[in-house]
Each structure stands twice: as C-alpha cells, then as structure tokens.
Amino acid sequence: MTMYSSSTVANMIELLESTSASSAGNIAEQLQRRLDDHREWGKQGVATLRADDARKIAAVLDWHKRRLRNGGVVGVKC
C-alpha cells in the first residue's frame, strides 16, 4: 500500500471544493476510497495517510454530503 502525499490530498480536496456538487461524485468517491483504505490498513498498523490528512478528508466529505443534501448550496466548511 502506498502512502498518499499531503500535496495529493490537498489537490483533491481543493478540486472537490471547487467543483459543483452534482459533478463532484467521482472526486468524493476517490477521497472516500483513500480514507477507507487508510482505516483498513490502519487496523494492520500501516498508515496510508497522515492523521491530519485523514481528518481533512473526513471533514470535506462531510461538508460535501451536507452540500448535496442542501441542493448544491455551498455552506461554511468546518
């Protein structure tokens, strides 16, 4: 398993934030897969993300889900 770089994570987060809610599905799915991989590999003691990057991904995915529920309206991110 590969360790994802902070710059890659930051670029994907920026892309998700700047893409309309209806068009951001693939980006969100990629971020979710990376977070899921990190959690699964973490059970075996292998980190695939830095802890702060994992938290950033989780926060932006929560924000994206709220954005979808609100009809694509972009609110204040946490």
pLDDT (tens digit per residue) in 17-28: 999 888 899 999
State residue 75 phi and psi, 5-degree precision.
-100, -170
E strand or H helix at 9, and its extent? helix 6-18
Q: What is the pLDDT of residue 78?
A: 47
Residue range 27-69, pLDDT digits in tens: 999 999 999 999 999 999 998 999 999 999 999 999 999 988 8
Q: Which residue has the tokens 């993300």?
A: 49
Does an H or E element contain 32, and which?
Answer: helix 25-42
